[in-house]
Protein backbone atom coordinates (compact mmCIF):
# COMPACT_ATOMS: atom_id res chain seq x y z
CA UNK A 1 0.00 0.00 0.00
CA UNK A 2 1.27 3.47 -0.91
CA UNK A 3 0.95 6.05 1.85
CA UNK A 4 -0.82 9.16 0.52
CA UNK A 5 -0.11 12.35 2.47
CA UNK A 6 -2.28 15.34 3.29
CA UNK A 7 -1.09 18.90 2.71
CA UNK A 8 -0.37 19.24 6.43
CA UNK A 9 1.73 16.07 6.42
CA UNK A 10 3.67 17.24 3.38
CA UNK A 11 4.44 20.46 5.27
CA UNK A 12 5.95 18.38 8.09
CA UNK A 13 8.00 16.44 5.55
CA UNK A 14 9.20 19.76 4.16
CA UNK A 15 10.48 20.66 7.63
CA UNK A 16 12.44 17.40 7.75
CA UNK A 17 13.65 17.99 4.20
CA UNK A 18 15.07 21.38 5.05
CA UNK A 19 17.05 19.83 7.91
CA UNK A 20 18.51 17.38 5.39
CA UNK A 21 19.38 20.30 3.11
CA UNK A 22 21.20 21.95 6.02
CA UNK A 23 23.18 18.74 6.64
CA UNK A 24 24.13 18.68 2.96
CA UNK A 25 25.39 22.26 3.08
CA UNK A 26 27.44 21.68 6.23
CA UNK A 27 28.98 18.36 5.16
CA UNK A 28 29.78 19.67 1.68
CA UNK A 29 31.80 22.48 3.25
CA UNK A 30 33.56 19.99 5.55
CA UNK A 31 34.43 17.43 2.83
CA UNK A 32 37.99 18.62 2.28
CA UNK A 33 41.34 16.81 1.97
CA UNK A 34 42.46 15.61 5.40
CA UNK A 35 38.97 15.30 6.86
CA UNK A 36 37.82 11.85 7.92
CA UNK A 37 34.41 10.50 7.10
CA UNK A 38 33.83 10.31 10.87
CA UNK A 39 34.39 14.09 10.98
CA UNK A 40 31.54 14.49 8.48
CA UNK A 41 29.30 12.32 10.62
CA UNK A 42 29.97 14.59 13.59
CA UNK A 43 29.08 17.63 11.48
CA UNK A 44 25.75 16.01 10.58
CA UNK A 45 25.00 15.19 14.22
CA UNK A 46 25.58 18.81 15.18
CA UNK A 47 23.15 20.08 12.51
CA UNK A 48 20.47 17.63 13.65
CA UNK A 49 20.87 18.77 17.25
CA UNK A 50 20.67 22.44 16.22
CA UNK A 51 17.34 21.76 14.49
CA UNK A 52 15.98 19.52 17.26
CA UNK A 53 15.60 16.74 14.68
CA UNK A 54 16.35 13.03 14.90
CA UNK A 55 18.56 10.97 12.58
CA UNK A 56 16.77 8.26 10.64
CA UNK A 57 19.94 6.41 9.59
CA UNK A 58 21.44 5.86 13.06
CA UNK A 59 20.34 2.44 14.27
CA UNK A 60 18.35 1.67 11.11
CA UNK A 61 18.80 -2.06 10.68
CA UNK A 62 21.80 -1.72 12.98
CA UNK A 63 23.55 1.00 10.93
CA UNK A 64 26.11 2.59 13.29
CA UNK A 65 26.23 6.19 12.04
CA UNK A 66 24.16 9.27 11.25
CA UNK A 67 25.10 9.51 7.56
CA UNK A 68 26.43 7.25 4.81
CA UNK A 69 29.81 8.30 3.41
CA UNK A 70 30.59 6.47 0.16
CA UNK A 71 34.01 7.24 -1.32
CA UNK A 72 35.08 6.50 -4.92
CA UNK A 73 34.13 2.90 -5.78
CA UNK A 74 31.73 2.72 -2.80
CA UNK A 75 28.24 3.09 -4.22
CA UNK A 76 26.18 3.46 -1.06
CA UNK A 77 26.03 2.69 2.68
CA UNK A 78 29.65 3.54 3.44
CA UNK A 79 30.18 3.69 7.22
CA UNK A 80 31.89 6.84 8.57
CA UNK A 81 35.28 6.03 10.08
CA UNK A 82 38.34 7.69 11.55
CA UNK A 83 40.35 5.48 9.21
CA UNK A 84 38.90 6.86 5.99
CA UNK A 85 40.74 10.11 5.31
CA UNK A 86 39.62 12.13 2.30
CA UNK A 87 42.29 12.88 -0.30
CA UNK A 88 42.51 15.41 -3.08
CA UNK A 89 40.84 13.94 -6.15
CA UNK A 90 38.39 11.71 -4.26
CA UNK A 91 34.68 11.85 -4.81
CA UNK A 92 32.26 11.19 -1.97
CA UNK A 93 28.54 10.54 -1.96
CA UNK A 94 26.86 11.59 1.28
CA UNK A 95 23.41 10.17 2.02
CA UNK A 96 21.52 11.37 5.08
CA UNK A 97 18.10 11.87 6.56
CA UNK A 98 16.16 13.53 9.35
CA UNK A 99 12.94 13.00 11.28
CA UNK A 100 10.71 15.88 12.41
CA UNK A 101 7.57 15.04 14.40
CA UNK A 102 7.62 11.51 13.01
CA UNK A 103 8.01 12.53 9.35
CA UNK A 104 11.10 11.68 7.32
CA UNK A 105 13.40 13.39 4.83
CA UNK A 106 16.13 11.63 2.85
CA UNK A 107 18.58 12.90 0.23
CA UNK A 108 22.08 12.34 -1.15
CA UNK A 109 24.66 14.18 -3.23
CA UNK A 110 28.11 13.59 -4.71
CA UNK A 111 30.90 16.03 -3.85
CA UNK A 112 34.40 16.51 -5.26
CA UNK A 113 37.19 16.55 -2.66
CA UNK A 114 39.81 19.15 -3.46
CA UNK A 115 40.43 19.90 -7.12
CA UNK A 116 41.81 18.55 -10.39
CA UNK A 117 39.20 15.87 -10.97
CA UNK A 118 39.16 14.01 -14.26
CA UNK A 119 36.47 15.20 -16.71
CA UNK A 120 34.91 11.72 -16.70
CA UNK A 121 34.24 12.04 -12.94
CA UNK A 122 32.71 15.47 -13.32
CA UNK A 123 30.52 14.16 -16.11
CA UNK A 124 29.57 11.07 -14.08
CA UNK A 125 28.20 13.22 -11.27
CA UNK A 126 26.45 15.56 -13.69
CA UNK A 127 24.75 12.71 -15.52
CA UNK A 128 23.62 11.11 -12.27
CA UNK A 129 22.26 14.38 -10.88
CA UNK A 130 20.50 15.34 -14.08
CA UNK A 131 18.93 11.88 -14.39
CA UNK A 132 17.48 12.43 -10.92
CA UNK A 133 15.93 15.71 -12.06
CA UNK A 134 14.53 13.99 -15.15
CA UNK A 135 12.85 11.52 -12.83
CA UNK A 136 11.53 14.32 -10.62
CA UNK A 137 10.13 16.09 -13.68
CA UNK A 138 8.19 12.90 -14.49
CA UNK A 139 6.28 13.14 -11.20
CA UNK A 140 3.05 14.35 -12.78
CA UNK A 141 -0.56 13.51 -12.10
CA UNK A 142 -1.65 10.74 -14.45
CA UNK A 143 1.84 9.31 -14.86
CA UNK A 144 2.76 5.99 -13.32
CA UNK A 145 5.75 4.91 -11.31
CA UNK A 146 7.38 3.37 -14.38
CA UNK A 147 7.40 6.79 -16.05
CA UNK A 148 9.83 8.00 -13.38
CA UNK A 149 12.07 4.96 -13.94
CA UNK A 150 11.89 5.46 -17.70
CA UNK A 151 12.84 9.14 -17.45
CA UNK A 152 15.90 8.33 -15.33
CA UNK A 153 17.09 5.51 -17.57
CA UNK A 154 16.44 7.38 -20.81
CA UNK A 155 18.44 10.39 -19.68
CA UNK A 156 21.44 8.26 -18.67
CA UNK A 157 21.41 6.17 -21.84
CA UNK A 158 21.37 9.27 -24.03
CA UNK A 159 24.53 10.70 -22.50
CA UNK A 160 27.81 9.88 -24.27
CA UNK A 161 30.32 8.44 -21.83
CA UNK A 162 33.83 9.91 -22.12
CA UNK A 163 36.09 7.24 -23.50
CA UNK A 164 33.20 5.21 -24.88
CA UNK A 165 31.08 2.44 -23.45
CA UNK A 166 28.00 2.80 -21.27
CA UNK A 167 27.33 4.02 -17.79
CA UNK A 168 26.38 1.33 -15.29
CA UNK A 169 22.94 1.94 -13.77
CA UNK A 170 23.20 0.19 -10.42
CA UNK A 171 20.72 -2.68 -10.41
CA UNK A 172 20.37 -3.75 -6.78
CA UNK A 173 19.43 -0.41 -5.23
CA UNK A 174 16.88 2.26 -6.08
CA UNK A 175 14.41 4.80 -4.80
CA UNK A 176 11.46 4.30 -2.50
CA UNK A 177 8.39 5.73 -0.92
CA UNK A 178 8.92 7.91 2.15
CA UNK A 179 6.74 9.35 4.89
CA UNK A 180 6.23 8.02 8.40
CA UNK A 181 9.11 5.66 7.62
CA UNK A 182 12.28 6.24 5.64
CA UNK A 183 11.78 3.27 3.32
CA UNK A 184 8.22 2.52 2.24
CA UNK A 185 6.39 1.17 -0.78
CA UNK A 186 6.79 1.50 -3.67
CA UNK A 187 10.31 0.49 -4.67
CA UNK A 188 11.55 2.67 -7.54
CA UNK A 189 13.91 1.17 -10.09
CA UNK A 190 16.28 3.47 -11.96
CA UNK A 191 15.61 1.54 -15.14
CA UNK A 192 12.58 -0.13 -16.70
CA UNK A 193 12.10 -3.81 -15.98
CA UNK A 194 9.30 -4.90 -18.28
CA UNK A 195 7.98 -7.74 -16.15
CA UNK A 196 7.22 -5.37 -13.28
CA UNK A 197 4.44 -3.60 -15.17
CA UNK A 198 3.63 0.08 -14.93
CA UNK A 199 3.25 0.41 -11.17
CA UNK A 200 0.83 2.68 -9.31
CA UNK A 201 -0.57 5.93 -10.66
CA UNK A 202 0.97 9.12 -9.34
CA UNK A 203 -1.64 11.14 -7.45
CA UNK A 204 -1.44 14.16 -5.13
CA UNK A 205 0.01 13.09 -1.80
CA UNK A 206 2.38 10.57 -3.43
CA UNK A 207 5.92 10.99 -2.02
CA UNK A 208 9.07 9.39 -3.39
CA UNK A 209 12.77 9.42 -2.66
CA UNK A 210 14.25 9.44 -6.16
CA UNK A 211 17.88 8.28 -6.12
CA UNK A 212 19.84 7.13 -9.16
CA UNK A 213 23.22 5.49 -8.57
CA UNK A 214 25.51 5.29 -11.60
CA UNK A 215 29.02 3.89 -12.12
CA UNK A 216 31.68 4.36 -14.77
CA UNK A 217 31.51 0.65 -15.48
CA UNK A 218 29.43 -2.21 -14.18
CA UNK A 219 25.89 -2.08 -12.84
CA UNK A 220 26.81 -4.94 -10.48
CA UNK A 221 27.66 -4.54 -6.81
CA UNK A 222 28.83 -6.53 -3.83
CA UNK A 223 28.56 -5.95 -0.07
CA UNK A 224 31.73 -5.96 2.05
CA UNK A 225 32.23 -7.96 5.23
CA UNK A 226 30.87 -5.14 7.39
CA UNK A 227 27.49 -6.08 5.84
CA UNK A 228 26.81 -2.46 4.84
CA UNK A 229 29.41 -1.03 2.46
CA UNK A 230 28.36 -1.57 -1.18
CA UNK A 231 31.05 -1.37 -3.88
CA UNK A 232 31.10 -1.89 -7.64
CA UNK A 233 32.34 -5.36 -8.55
CA UNK A 234 34.85 -3.97 -11.06
CA UNK A 235 36.15 -1.18 -8.81
CA UNK A 236 34.89 1.66 -11.02
CA UNK A 237 33.87 4.85 -9.25
CA UNK A 238 30.23 5.79 -8.81
CA UNK A 239 27.91 8.70 -8.08
CA UNK A 240 24.70 8.89 -6.03
CA UNK A 241 22.13 11.70 -6.04
CA UNK A 242 18.77 11.75 -4.25
CA UNK A 243 15.89 14.05 -3.33
CA UNK A 244 12.64 13.41 -1.51
CA UNK A 245 9.73 14.69 -3.60
CA UNK A 246 6.02 15.20 -2.94
CA UNK A 247 3.42 15.40 -5.69
CA UNK A 248 0.78 18.01 -4.83
CA UNK A 249 -2.29 19.34 -6.59
CA UNK A 250 -0.07 22.16 -7.88
CA UNK A 251 2.82 19.99 -9.07
CA UNK A 252 5.97 18.48 -7.56
CA UNK A 253 7.63 19.90 -4.46
CA UNK A 254 11.23 18.84 -3.87
CA UNK A 255 11.16 18.51 -0.11
CA UNK A 256 14.93 18.33 0.39
CA UNK A 257 15.95 21.16 -1.97
CA UNK A 258 16.32 24.60 -0.35
CA UNK A 259 14.23 26.23 -3.09
CA UNK A 260 11.75 23.36 -3.33
CA UNK A 261 13.17 22.44 -6.73
CA UNK A 262 12.03 25.67 -8.36
CA UNK A 263 15.17 26.41 -10.41
CA UNK A 264 15.88 22.92 -11.73
CA UNK A 265 12.25 22.10 -12.50
CA UNK A 266 12.01 25.34 -14.47
CA UNK A 267 14.70 23.92 -16.79
CA UNK A 268 12.19 21.16 -17.59
CA UNK A 269 9.36 23.62 -18.16
CA UNK A 270 7.71 22.69 -14.85
CA UNK A 271 6.56 25.02 -12.10
CA UNK A 272 7.36 23.71 -8.65
CA UNK A 273 4.54 23.61 -6.14
CA UNK A 274 4.45 26.48 -3.64
CA UNK A 275 6.50 25.94 -0.50
CA UNK A 276 4.07 25.32 2.39
CA UNK A 277 6.57 26.84 4.82
CA UNK A 278 7.16 30.05 2.85
Ligand-binding annotation for 240, yes or no, is no
- Residue at 273 is within a domain: no
Kindly state whether residue 1 falls inside one of the protein's structural domains: no
Question: Which residue(s) pair with 248 in the sheet?
Answer: 251
Task: Determine the structural domain holding residue 62 and report its residue range.
Answer: 7-267
User: Tens-digit pLDDT profile for the chain (278 aa)?
Assistant: 899 999 999 999 999 999 999 999 999 999 999 999 999 999 999 999 999 999 999 999 999 999 999 999 999 999 999 999 999 999 999 999 999 999 999 999 999 999 999 999 999 999 999 999 999 999 999 999 999 999 999 999 999 999 899 999 999 999 999 999 999 999 999 999 877 779 999 999 999 999 999 999 999 999 999 999 999 999 999 999 999 999 999 999 999 999 999 999 999 999 999 999 99
- Total of domains in the chain: 1
- Residue 275 lies inside a defined structural domain of this protein: no
Q: Is 278 part of a structural domain of the chain?
A: no
Contact 225, 216 (CB under 8 A): no
- The answer to the question of whether 176 is labelled as a binding residue is yes
Distance of CA 207 to the CA centre of its chain: 14
Query: 240: domain CATH number?
Result: 3.90.230.10
Q: Considering the domain boundaries, does residue 274 fall inside one?
A: no
Residue 272 lies in a domain: no
Q: Is 211 annotated as a binding residue?
A: yes
Would 177 be classed as within a structural domain? Answer: yes
**Residue 171 assigned as binding residue:** no
Please indicate, yes or no, if residue 160 is contained in any of the structural domains.
yes
Is residue 106 annotated as involved in ligand binding? Answer: yes
Amino acid sequence: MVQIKTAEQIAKMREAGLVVAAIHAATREAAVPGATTKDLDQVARKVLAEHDAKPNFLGYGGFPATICTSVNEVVVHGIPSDEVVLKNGDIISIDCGAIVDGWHGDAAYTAFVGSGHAPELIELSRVTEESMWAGIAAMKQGNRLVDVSHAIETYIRRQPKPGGGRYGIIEDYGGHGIGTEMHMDPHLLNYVERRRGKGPKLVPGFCLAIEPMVSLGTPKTEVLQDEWTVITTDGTWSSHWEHSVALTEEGPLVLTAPDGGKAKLAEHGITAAPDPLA
